[in-house]
Amino acid sequence: MIRSMTGFGDAQLEKQGFSFLLEIKSVNNRFLKTVIRLPDALSALEPEVERTLRKNVCRGSVNYTLHMRNISTAGPYEVNHAAIEYYLSHLQQMAMLRADQKGMNIDLASVTQLPGVCQVRTFTEEEHNEYLEAVESLTDTALKKLQNMRKKEGEILVNDLRQNCQAMRKSLEALDGLTDEVVDLYRKRIQTRVESMLAEANLKLDEEQLRKEIALYAERSDINEEVARLSAHLDQFDTACQSKDQAGRRLDFLTQEMLREANTIASKSNHSEISHHVVDIKVAIDRLKEQVQNIE
């Protein structure tokens, strides 16, 4: 099944005095790259989130952002009283030593900014398990939305891919038989030119040598093999588009092989109509390459 690497999914939930908002965004990438942003209190869940993402997404750059907001009367931070007493005792000692600093005031608001005073509230094991369930539920919901969007985008991509493949097949059909026409035109052109030159010199045409020259040209300009391989690549491309497996890398490789065959045909052809069709084929291949970059 063809899926796009571009997608978005979100989910919201309120539990145990906290409001959760999860957003998962994905864009194209050659490999799977995950960026996970969790609240400090839930940072321990990152490995589990990473495993879940890798089970559901094979390619793409995935951004996972979980917002957590306290909506209860209890604050999200707790004060470390031992740390405050430690700082205050040292500050009072300094005040006593500096007798010249009479009336020295200690600003408690500033003290709370010192390291270790205000800490993120720790959760009990029971609370931790509940929040783990909440995150798993949010992740499952957001991933389903993400995959649905990637699937719909993939269906649009497949339609565009098939249109370009059909355009290439028409161009390949037009190339059928043109090789013989090219050789025949070359034979007539060289025969006319040689006969004209020999007539002026009053010499006789060597038919055997002419046939060898034409045969050599026919071998160099034969594009039937390249056309057949390009047609086979199109068949493989269509099969990959219908596969249930991730086909992005395979499709990318096939487009490279298609371009190789098209370039070979272009280098062999010495015919305006063939060149015209090759240009159309290469334009279609470029469109395929562009769209394939966003397929998982």
> How does residue 260 score in pLDDT terms, banded at 50, 70 and 90?
very high
- Find all residues with CB under 8 Å of 138, minimum gap 6, and list them: 11, 12, 13, 20, 22, 66
Quote the CA–CA distance of 254 and 226 in Å, as a whole number: 14
List the structure tokens of 38.
């969790």
List the structure tokens of 189.
């052109």
Cβ–Cβ < 8 Å for 15, 42: no
Residue of 232 and 218 predicted with greater confidence: 232
> How does residue 99 score in pLDDT terms, banded at 50, 70 and 90?
low
The runs of H, that is alpha helices, within 176-223 are 178-201, 207-221
Sign for the CA dihedral angle at 263, 267, 272, 274 comes to: negative
Number of helices (H) and strands (E), helices first, in the chain? 9, 6
Quote the CA–CA distance of 214 and 183 in Å, as a whole number: 7
pLDDT of residue 9: 96
Percent of the chain with pLDDT over 90: 36
According to CATH, the topology of domain 7-74+124-151 is: Ribosomal Protein S5; domain 2 (3.30.230)
pLDDT of residue 236: 93
Quote the CA–CA distance of 26 and 7 in Å, as a whole number: 5
pLDDT tens-digit series, residues 65-78: 999 887 765 555 66
Weakest mean pLDDT among 92-101, 131-140, 160-169, 220-229: 92-101
pLDDT tens-digit series, residues 177-230: 666 666 565 555 655 665 565 555 555 555 666 566 555 555 566 777 888 899
Cβ–Cβ < 8 Å for 18, 68: yes
